[in-house]
Amino acid sequence: MASRRRSKVRTTFDMASILWNSAVQERATELHGDSWDVVFDDSITQHNTAPGWYHYISGSFAGFTCSLCRRSWASKRVQVIFHFYLNSASNQGTIKVRRFKQKCKRCTGARMEDPNFSVENIDVLVERLVTKIRVRCYEEYLGESNRPSRFSGRMNGPHETLHCEACQNGVCSQAT
């Protein structure tokens, strides 16, 4: 029972990693054929970009599930911070991704849960990010044309600042 639960968590994590990586691989041509890897990193902020790296904050619709009561909710404003860097000598790029968590408002002692983005909204975010990478790392001149996120389901009430990790980090108001 315990081992089954553990492997389920690992599968979920791997699945998100696979989805984000494949969304980036699909845009390899736009990234000049260079190899770009996506890694999740919950330690990055809008202030701690390493030398030579760039950052970008965006957000999209995502769902959450409370691991205590199994309740699900949706949020149309789930922020994501990206740090990205191109090693032009080896044609190897790295993208660090931090997906801001939210916690259940019904459970006492609720834990911060990772958001679940749909494949379509991952692609929306990756499309915006790749535009930034092309401008910053490949010095292309591109216009701004953000494709909007796709919403599904019903929003329940206003954005819950107290239960949103991004709000607590001052990130929610900064996304573009």
Where does this chain bind Zn ion (CB under 5 A)? 66, 68-69, 71, 104, 106-107, 164, 166-167, 172
The least CB distance from residue 69 to Zn ion, in Å, is 3
Dist CA 18 CA 141 (whole Å): 30
Residue nearer to Zn ion on the CB measure, 24 or 164: 164
- Amino acid code (one letter) for 83: H
| b/e map 97-129, b = 16+ CB within 10 Å | bbbbbbbbeeeeebeebbbbbbeebbbbbbbbb
Residue nearer to Zn ion on the CB measure, 58 or 131: 58
Residue nearer to Zn ion on the CB measure, 23 or 164: 164
Closest CA to 54 of 94, 98, 26: 94
Residue nearer to Zn ion on the CB measure, 6 or 106: 106
The least CB distance from residue 5 to Zn ion, in Å, is 17
The least CB distance from residue 108 to Zn ion, in Å, is 9
